[in-house]
């Protein structure tokens, strides 16, 4: 367990905003978790659990508390297609590991930046797959009870970009490891529209997990900035999910509605683009010219800059279409 003081949150998150955190504790073994919580309790300080920092925004005043970072590593095939992943593993390394072994279930989640522990928290998803489809269990530390336990799928109440871990039990559980149930084979067709287009354009006939991973990686590379190269929190707004009646109405207005197994939705990036923001620079924040759902920090130096840019986008989209955009990244605050 390593304890550091006054570490800038901007150095821990890919959007590169945020003042100093009073303490940062890096955890390398499960036994260190209760020690870290005891340290915070002795200091009478709140705790925030941080992973890779790709979906987190810091505030200018920093965090008068303790940030915990999972540094536990390891991947193990338990039995059959079940795979146990320590929470500190970089997520794309996990996808690479499974695809190399011909396991299907998470190949469409390639190149999502972050650590494995965050996958069930946000129920990460892309191109027709999400974690809830393969999730079996998570070994966690329950900070409220002061005990280690295992949470099953029924405990997490998964929904779009949500689970109990970021809603009703937000901040309560420190995820040590997750277990997923994968299988040998390939994703069923039809694939997500952008994957089908790529297949047709490149005359691809191999739909193995490794091939789908290559396709998804190429699609993401063409549209999404690498947060290691450009300061970004990835997709900044959630897509708009609609009831069947709402989807019918949206289509009558000429809006492109995607109807799939995961529900009816309008891509928020399309709304932002139609509102005239694609490629725009607002308060030092650039709306990506290739994927309007992504905001890039080109020269913003404060949370206020980001908030001003966000407000302009949200307000104009609502005025034009009547939909409120919801921010996807979580925030580290002292409130």
**Contact by Cβ (8 Å): 301, 265:** no
Cα gap 83→9, rounded to integer Å: 32
Element (H, E) at 223: helix 209-223
Which helix (H) or strand (E) element contains residue 270? helix 268-274
Nearest to 78 by CA among 156, 132, 136, 31: 136
| Known catalytic residue at 194 | no
The answer to whether residue 259 is catalytic is no
Active site residue 161: yes
Which residue in 267, 265, 260, 261 sits closest to 237, CA to CA?
A: 267
Report the candidate in 264, 253, 238 with the shortest Cα–Cα distance to residue 325.
Answer: 238
Find how far residue 190's CA is from the centre of its chain: 25
Which of 16, 161, 220, 286 is the catalytic position? 161
Annotated catalytic residue, options 177, 232, 235, 288: 235
Indicate the DSSP class of residue 115: B
Which residue, 116, 118, 123, 27, is CA-closest to 66? Answer: 27
H/E stretch holding 195 reads helix 193-202
**Residues taking part in catalysis:** 161, 235, 328
């Amino acid at each position: 367990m390593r304890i550091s003081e006054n570490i800038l949150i901007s150095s821990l998150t890919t959007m590169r905003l945020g003042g100093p955190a009073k303490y940062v504790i890096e955890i390398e073994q499960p036994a260190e978790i209760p020690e870290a919580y005891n340290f915070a309790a002795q200091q009478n300080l709140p705790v925030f659990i941080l992973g890779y920092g790709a979906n987190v925004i810091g505030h200018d005043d920093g965090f008068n508390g303790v940030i915990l970072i999972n540094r536990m590593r390891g991947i193990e095939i338990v039995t059959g297609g079940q795979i146990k992943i320590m929470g500190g593993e970089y997520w794309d390394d996990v996808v690479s590991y499974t695809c190399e072994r011909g396991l299907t279930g998470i190949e469409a989640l390639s190149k999502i930046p972050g650590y494995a522990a965050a996958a069930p928290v946000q129920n990460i998803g892309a191109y027709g797959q999400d974690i809830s489809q393969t999730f079996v269990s998570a070994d966690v530390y329950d900070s409220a009870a002061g005990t280690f336990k295992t949470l099953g799928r029924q405990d997490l109440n998964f929904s779009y970009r949500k689970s109990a871990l970021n809603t009703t039990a937000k901040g309560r559980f420190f995820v040590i490891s997750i277990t997923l149930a994968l299988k040998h084979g390939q994703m069923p067709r039809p694939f997500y529209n952008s994957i089908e287009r790529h297949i047709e354009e490149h005359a691809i006939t191999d739909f193995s997990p490794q091939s789908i991973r290559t396709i998804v990686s190429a699609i993401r590379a063409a549209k999404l900035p690498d947060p290691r190269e450009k300061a970004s929190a990835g997709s900044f707004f959630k897509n708009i999910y609609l009831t069947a009646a709402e989807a019918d109405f949206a289509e009558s207005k000429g809006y492109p509605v995607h109807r799939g197994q995961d529900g009816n939705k309008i891509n928020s990036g399309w709304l932002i683009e139609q509102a005239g923001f694609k490629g725009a620079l607002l308060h030092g924040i650039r709306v990506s010219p290739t994927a309007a759902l992504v905001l890039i920090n080109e020269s913003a130096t404060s949370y206020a800059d980001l908030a001003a840019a966000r407000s302009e986008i949200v307000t104009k989209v609502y005025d034009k279409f009547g939909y409120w955009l919801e921010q996807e990244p979580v925030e580290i605050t002292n409130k």
